[in-house]
Amino acid sequence: MVFTGTETLFFLLGIITTLFILGLIKYNKQLKFNALSWALLGTGSFLCIFCIAWSVSAVLEGVPRAASMGMVVFGIPSLLMLLLGRRFAIKKSK
Amino acid sequence: MNKKNSEGSNAINRRNFLKLGAAGAAIGAVAFPAKAKEEIINKINEKTAGDFIKTHDKFPYEINEDYKPHSNKDIMFTGSFWNFHSEDEDVINSGKEFSYKTFMHFEEKKGFDQLSKAMNAGGWALHNTVSPLGSQAISGSGILKWDQYRKKEGEFIPHHDWINESQYQFGNKQEAADAIKRAARLYGADLVGITHRDKRWDYTDFVDAQAIMEGRHEDAVYGWERFPFEPKSVIVMAFEMDYEAIATAPTDIQGAGAGAEYSSMTKTAYQLSIFLKQLGYHAIPCSNDTGLSIPYAIAAGLGEGSRMGNLITYKYGPRVRLAKVYTDFDFTEYDKPIEFGAMEFCKNCMRCADACPGKAISFDKEPSFYPTHENKDNAWYNAQGIKKYYMDAKKCFHTWGEFGTDCGSCMASCPYNKPDFWHHRLVDKITAAMPGPVHDFMREMDELFGYGDVGNLEKIDVFYNPKGRSYNGH
Ligand code: SF4
Ligand code: SF4
């Protein structure tokens, strides 16, 4: 293998981060986020990326329980924040 | 502290994640060429390291006036194997059990079968051949000898174990420290620190195993007058033990992990002593002998003390073995003790105390100046008068006797014992920055996330798995 598991992970995280940022910029143009939506969507995006990083790393190091716990502890709050942020943004734009 | 020399490998190394910052890491991995990334990493690390790692000018733990340096006779191994505490029957019996079971394998017991014993024997082999008594804290064993030979004119001694008549002069103290540390890492040390020789940590006397074996009991103990020079500095080295091997605690594979590093440290300490001798200075390589390795390692800035009694290093946690080289070379920059929150974390953690099969580790909330364990009135093996957690080495040794190997469950369970991986480094840094009550929560999370369980035989399968951990991808 040319790249290690971690290197591949961080390369993909770079792409995912870029997609998240582009997504936020695009939807902000459409929906004009207020401060609350920004806070929820920003934190949710960060937590979601962190959840992917944590869980994949835990699988790579051979501790699957840490991966599932990572999904519960970081993944669920991130989804809730993203959903709530989206909801506030849509509500406000109506 | 120095970095492990494999750090230049492909794996994103120990501190890089935080150096980059959480999101920056992801972007950085894509956007920057390697050289630029390294520079940014170094800059951010310089800025953040000081916030998490404090240094002390003096030894960081309080010492009472009645503290007395430890006698070599009062080390558990000399007390037991060499009969210095024959009145303590349990200690004598534990030693016998331990020695006897070391050579036996139990096919029905995973981790203690012939394969595991063979792994263990191979790990210890070099140590057992070239410095067999070093781990038992007996000085001058094999290549750890105290000889300071001066070569005669025209004499040909190809191994270079003699003191060069010409003394090399370094340009400045930093250059000297850098060269010594580079040599130590080249020869195999993972962490290196240099500290002043401190009589508080030296044994007051030395056990002469040869005299005991020859029946000369009147010569069984000798003093510092036999030490061939006045030491000024002690170079302390830490050797990382294999994570997967230690995780199998308390089995013979864990013992193999320990033994492999005893072998490495014997070799490295000897090589470093030759380096110093060839620079024209006196040097004596040591394993567990001649002085207490843990306070010397703390003084040399390699890590902090802990509840379990072992040194906790910033990089490898407690998963290290320690070696020392005494020398009269003193034109060098000395390291300072460091603090990154381990002792503070110990106050709330107690995972090692929970995991210890021998119930040898204290559950006291605060450290104390004297032992508080049930054998405290006859704790000849504890160096008393220092504010720390007192481990009951007698109970620990009893457990070693039961297993026939050196247990290691405390190290395996410790939240500071993690493989070299970014998310553990992140948690370490967060832990160091958080106040005490959060440590309770961090400890619980560590357990919930599935780290540090001991006595789990699946860890043996992980140890043998040819794919191993795939984080380094090779
Ligand atoms: S080595 Fe084992 S018995 Fe000894 S203190 Fe550690 S866990 Fe307890
Ligand atoms: S397991 Fe916890 S209490 Fe024990 S040494 Fe490690 S951090 Fe300290």
pLDDT digits (tens, 9 = 90+) for B94-133: 999 999 998 888 899 999 999 999 999 999 999 999 999 9
Q: What whole-number percentage of chain B has pLDDT above 70?
A: 88
Concatenating the DSSP letter of every residue in B29-87 gives: HHHS-HHHHHHHHHHHHHHHHHHH-EE-SS-SS-B-TT--PPPGGGSHHHHHHT-TTTT
Where are the extended beta strands (E) located within B64-183? none
Chain A hits for B22, CB-CB cut-off 8 Å, are 46, 50
Q: How far is the CA of B90 from the centre of ligand 1 (A)?
A: 16
The answer to whether residue B7 sits within a structural domain is no
Task: Name every residue in B having a CB less than 8 A away from some CB of A.
Answer: 10-12, 22-23, 25-31, 419, 421-423, 445, 448-451, 462, 465, 469-474
Q: Which of A61, A64, A69 sits opposite B469 (nearest CB)?
A: A61
- Name the residue range of residue B162's domain: 54-463
| B323 bridge partner residues | B237
The answer to whether residue B83 sits within a structural domain is yes
- In this predicted model, what pLDDT tens digit does every residue of B194-231 receive, in sequence order? 999 999 999 999 999 999 999 999 999 999 999 999 99
| B309 CB near ligand 1 (under 6 Å) | no
CB contact under 8 A, B10 and A70: no
Taking alpha carbons only, the member of B467, B75, B65, B259 closest to residue A60 is B467
- In this predicted model, what pLDDT tens digit does every residue of B217-270 receive, in sequence order? 999 999 999 999 999 999 999 999 999 999 999 999 999 999 999 999 999 999
The answer to whether residue B1 sits within a structural domain is no
The answer to whether residue B30 sits within a structural domain is no
For chain A, the residue count is 94
Question: Distances from the Cα of B452 to the Cαs of B39, B83, B136, B292, in angstroms?
Answer: 35, 36, 28, 28
In angstroms, the CA A4 to CA B29 distance is: 13
In angstroms, the CA B263 to CA B125 distance is: 7
| B238 bridge partner residues | B191, B322
Strands B191-196 and B233-240: antiparallel
The phi and psi torsions of B196 (rounded to 5 degrees) equal: -70, 150
In angstroms, the CA B199 to CA B223 distance is: 13
Chain A hits for B12, CB-CB cut-off 8 Å, are 4, 6-7, 10
The answer to whether residue B412 sits within a structural domain is yes
The answer to whether residue B67 sits within a structural domain is yes
Chain A: give the shortest CA distance to residue B322, in Å.
27
Taking alpha carbons only, the member of B191, B173, B163 closest to residue B303 is B191
Taking alpha carbons only, the member of B438, B460, B437 closest to residue B245 is B460
Chain A hits for B23, CB-CB cut-off 8 Å, are 17, 46, 49
Q: Residue B12 pLDDT more than 60?
A: no
Q: Copy the structure tokens of residue B117.
A: 């014993």
State the average pLDDT over residues B437-449: 90
Query: Of all protein residues, whose CA lies closest to atom 1 belonging to ligand 2?
Result: B414
pLDDT for B28 equals 37
Least reliable range by pLDDT among B51-55, B65-69, B86-90, B136-140: B51-55
The answer to whether residue B20 sits within a structural domain is no
CB contact under 8 A, A53 and B419: no
What's B243-285 look like in SS3? HHHHHCCCCHHHHHHHHHHHHHHHHHHHHHHHHHHHCCCCEEE
pTM for this model (two decimals): 0.88
